[in-house]
Structure 1
Amino acid sequence: MEGRRDDVVLATKFSRPTGQDPNHQGASRRWIVTAVESSLRRLRTDYIDLYQLHRPDPGTDIEETLSALTDLIRGGKVRAIGASQTPVSGIVEAQWVAERRGLARFHTEQPAYSILNRGIEREILPTTQRFGMGTLVWGPLGQGLLTGRVRKNQDNDLRRAGLFQHLNDERRLDAVEKLIPLAAEAGLPMTHLAMAFTIAHPGVTSALIGVRTMDHLDALLTGLDVTLTDDILDRIDEIVPPGTDIGTLDQAYQPPRWRTRTCAAAQSPPAPQPDRLG
């Protein structure tokens, strides 16, 4: 970013474990101060535009977190702060504490949102709109399911991998099989249908995407000007009703004890399977 820092909006996160040390995680003042200095050093910059709490930390009072982040803003190391994967009660509490204590407030929230994951339409999006927060949604392509490359009766390496259980969710795969012909009828690639749906919601500020090549990026960007008709939106509602999540949301927030169990289960060797006949 040398020579181009003013042209970049730089966002990063804190709170997830960075090693085996149990103190190197969370949202305590001690760890926030350490984490931001490490980020500034790695990114070779003297300030971060948006510093985000990656996951709620049930072991730290939100006032302590906001107080530490407020000091970073006053010190010029951070311009704005946000959160991610926060339940609606946590969003409201953080806004209330910030107002009561005269602290900086979270300006953004980062939940998962796609045609398949519409649960945030019930409470999260109305709440962020109520508080004037930006909503930066992740997973608009359904963690790969809405690319059109994962089909119900196709076997591939991703579906066999234990870390991608959502690719084997029958309810999600059934919905995808209904969405693919709908995209074709609309004359759109599946990815354009998915992205256009995501950014059409008035409560969505922007959608975060992950690409590996410039070709992938260019292909997605060509769909930014797509506007879905009311008929297409209504038919999407028939496949995935508003405010609902299809299948499991295995990347949603889980208390630490449940994350530990989930990770342990994912790392366990699969049970032996009987030989197939024929």
Structure 2
Amino acid sequence: MEYRNLGRTGVRVSELCLGCMMFGGRTGEEDSFGIIDRAIDAGINFVDTANVYSTGASEEVVGKALRKNGKRDSVVLATKVHGPMGDDPNARGNHRRHIIEQCEASLRRLQVEHFDLYQIHRPDSHIPIDETLRALDDLIRAGKVRYAGTSTYAAWQLVEALWAAKELGLNRFVCEQPPYHLLDRRIERELVPFAQTYGTALIPWSPLAGGFLTGKYSRDESQSPEDSRYGLEPRRLGRNHFTDEAFDVLETVQAIAEEKGCNPGQLALAWCKDKPGVTSAIIGPRTMEQLEDNLGALEVSLDEGDHERLDAVAPPGRATVPYYDADFGPHPFRW
């Protein structure tokens, strides 16, 4: 396992980050405990969850697991805030009231005194960035948060946040979580250069395109496997990955993976985690089998010829499929 600096900070995080969206939902408590323990034993020291995952249940499971195994101090613990946590119109968004209330609630659920990383889950055009930054800065100064970050922000929004933090003397965002995989490479246009220029960590989510790049779907099949993500939630997630262009990418991934003696998902994950600017790729295993499969990507490396073949079907800086956010719905084009 390789460890990389979390942006400009001195904190070192593993090249794979354990995403906990499934825990407390499709993955039961005991299975979640086992996956978390195995991930930490394998060298993953970066754990990411959010308050909206199963409406707090994911945080509760992660908190119980870390208390049970006694490994909280060896883990860089991250969670997020933004999404709705009830019917109250104020129980959502990036305003001070919601951020501080949800920080206290997440601390209770995770059974910890502080987070290592507190991330704003999505931009909020209705809230001035200085209000969000001041709330996070207060939490950092109070010792409840160590660092602040973002998820699915555009480069211009992060530049605005850097400017505001400098002008007001506030703690800045140290990392960004963007969607990034072989079917959507738009962050390479502006976000990656931004991150490399300003020392911001990139922690991509969905490196396997929601499981599409594992190869479980076929061009010739009209139905998704019943237990798959797209099989269970086709309306919510959309079927925008199921295009001829996407399958052209998948078939190239499958061909290269066969040559290397790995599976397609491992190759796609290795591609993502080792791209310039990437700090740690977020995996989201639902089962122990999926975690073990993801760990196999650590043994896979791509050469210049492999990248050229992939670039031919998945052009740099472009999206092969329309972007759709499974958690918050369709988003405007940002990259």
Q: TM-score, normalised by structure 2?
A: 0.73
Q: 2: CA distance between counterparts of 1:234 and 1:223?
A: 20
Of 245, 267, 291, 1:217 maps to: 291
Q: Which amino acid aligns with 1:21?
A: D
Q: Counterpart of 2:126 in 1: which secondary structure?
A: coil
- Greater RCO (CA < 8 Å, at least 6 residues apart): 2
Identity of aligned residues (%): 42
Q: What does residue range 42-121 of structure 1 map to in structure 2 within 5 Å?
A: 42-121=109-188
Q: What does residue range 177-256 of structure 1 map to in structure 2 within 5 Å?
A: 177-251=251-325
How far residue 178 of structure 1 moved from its aligned partner, in angstroms, is 3.3
How far residue 174 of structure 1 moved from its aligned partner, in angstroms, is 3.3
Q: Which amino acid aligns with 2:284?
A: G
Q: What does residue range 148-167 of structure 1 map to in structure 2 within 5 Å?
A: 148-154=215-221, 155-156=223-224, 157=226, 158-159=230-231, 161-165=234-238, 166-167=240-241
Q: Which amino acid aligns with 2:237?
A: F
Q: Counterpart of 2:196 in 1: which secondary structure?
A: helix
Give yes or no for contact 2:118–2:145 (8 Å, CA) kept in 1.
yes
Q: Which amino acid aligns with 1:120?
A: I
Q: 1: CA distance between counterparts of 2:158 and 2:326?
A: 15
Q: 1: CA distance between counterparts of 2:281 and 2:253?
A: 20
Larger radius of gyration: 1
Q: Counterpart of 1:224 in 2: which secondary structure?
A: helix
Q: 1: CA distance between counterparts of 2:234 and 2:210?
A: 14
Give yes or no for contact 2:236–2:326 (8 Å, CA) kept in 1.
no
Query: Which aligned runs of 4 or more in structure 1 are off by greater than 3 angstroms?
Result: none
Q: Counterpart of 1:163 in 2: which secondary structure?
A: helix
RMSD: 1.9
Q: How many residues align?
A: 257
Give yes or no for contact 1:85–1:252 (8 Å, CA) kept in 2.
no
Q: 2: CA distance between counterparts of 1:170 and 1:94?
A: 39
Structure 1 residue aligned with 2:9: none
Give yes or no for contact 2:85–2:92 (8 Å, CA) kept in 1.
yes
Q: 2: CA distance between counterparts of 1:231 and 1:118?
A: 19
Q: Which amino acid aligns with 1:193?
A: L
Q: Counterpart of 2:298 in 1: which secondary structure?
A: coil
- The alignment status of 1:29 with 2:96, answered yes or no, reads yes
Structure 2 residue aligned with 1:39: 106
Give yes or no for contact 2:83–2:121 (8 Å, CA) kept in 1.
yes
Give yes or no for contact 1:88–1:127 (8 Å, CA) kept in 2.
yes
Q: 2: CA distance between counterparts of 1:253 and 1:242?
A: 26
Q: 2: CA distance between counterparts of 1:43 and 1:206?
A: 22
Give yes or no for contact 2:93–2:124 (8 Å, CA) kept in 1.
yes
Q: 2: CA distance between counterparts of 1:120 and 1:64?
A: 26
The gaps in structure 2 that reach 5 residues or longer are 1-65
Give yes or no for contact 1:120–1:243 (8 Å, CA) kept in 2.
yes
How far residue 35 of structure 1 moved from its aligned partner, in angstroms, is 0.7
